[in-house]
Structure 1
Amino acid sequence: MKSIIILFLLLIFSISNCTAIVSAGAVYSNDIIVSDDNILFTIEETYTDVDVQEFRQMLDLDRSGDVNISEVEAFKESHLISKKIELRSYISIDEGDVPLEMMSVVMEFENAQGDINITSPINVTTFVEYKFLSPIPSGEHELWILGHPLIQNMKITLPEGVIVASSDGLDNMTTSTYDGKIVLEGESGIRTFMVENRTIFEYATTVDMYKKPFYAESYFLPLLVFIEMLLAVFAIYMIKGKKQSS
């Protein structure tokens, strides 16, 4: 009981700090598209107010008071060295039992160049592609996505034929369907789970999902009937051919 109370107090403290951070002028959004063979993870960061001023000062490597394209590219190159390591742990399926390989990382800056005293927002977009080393097998799976208090919008698109059993850590969630795919959308929140009778809190989103086997798909029965008809026609043709030859 004592450990739960301590964790609860720490949670309240972290939430109050996070609220202060959000109001400082940084907002994130994540767009995750899970397909049969890969995952496209797009991270959008918008910096305003005090945060954008500090960001421009950080980009101004030569302290000239003006950010140029070469400084942006230099920052991008050095930042991606450590960022690529972090991105490997941003998402997992079945605690890593479904292996993923990070194929590419591309970072784009918008409105970063110019005088460091400019207060207009800076937008940073990071595109990450993960590839499945083997297809997701049919059955039950857990999708885990790292969260953050600054993520005000998280959108998760699941593959066609995948059913959502439950989810956790996605506040104010809405569920919709687009092109036959389930789409979950909400704010990054805190999920709770038990470890050795202790309540654990973490900023993360989990989706318990079920991938239907291929024979449960709507197209399977018509396809099976078509194949049977095709085989029947072929058998009749072969029988007629044998009769004519004899």
Structure 2
Amino acid sequence: MILYPAIDLKDGQCVRLLRGEMSAATVFGDDPAAQALKFQSAGCQWLHLVDLNGAFAGAPVNAAAVEAILKAVTVPAQLGGGIRDMATIAMWLEKGLARVILGTVAVENPALVRQAARAFPGKVAVGIDARKGFVATKGWAHETTVQATDLARSFEDAGVAAIIYTDIDRDGAMAGPNIEATESLARAVTIPVIASGGVSRMQDLIALKATGVIAGAISGRALYDGAIDLAAAIKTLDI
């Protein structure tokens, strides 16, 4: 199971939100590229980047910070937030991003996800963010009546590289991930599922790995707070 350190970008800074609330942001640094290098030095295999402003704006906002990260590191990075058309997808992949994450458009324009997955094999993931099992879009501000599992199943034949499943109520709360819901989703589809939201201690990572069906886990606040030692966690997950 791969551990993805998260760098969430708001106004050019590294932050973590509490349950997706932009007004509840904690700033962890003003040099995202330096933070990315720290994670790379600790041995991470991937980076998970989020343009928080972009998720609300519907277009890239923290592009300069993302580009600085891509120039600074050699490990692959995936990015979500404000990526809602083919031109933006192509732009980011040309700049060296390994994978784009499509969230809002997965609900509003699923044909775009399919088109992108065909055009860029292995480089398109679907972000499914849910509250109590129902998908939320537009930076988690808009709640839909679409069930997370139904959305995931609808892309089974689309060729997407992964599904990033976030339990919004757990995100940034340091309360542990929703292992049951994530495992259930992972067993419902053949697409690799990456867990996000609430990963706050080593035991959470061990429990996610123990399901045998979860391909990866994203952690942010716990790495910044020191609750999880990235190098030690990577070593443990490799065993």
The answer, yes or no, to whether TM exceeds 0.5 is no
- TM-score normalised to structure 2 length: 0.25
- TM-score normalised to structure 1 length: 0.24
Instruction: Report which of the two structures shows the higher radius of gyration computed on alpha carbons.
Output: 1
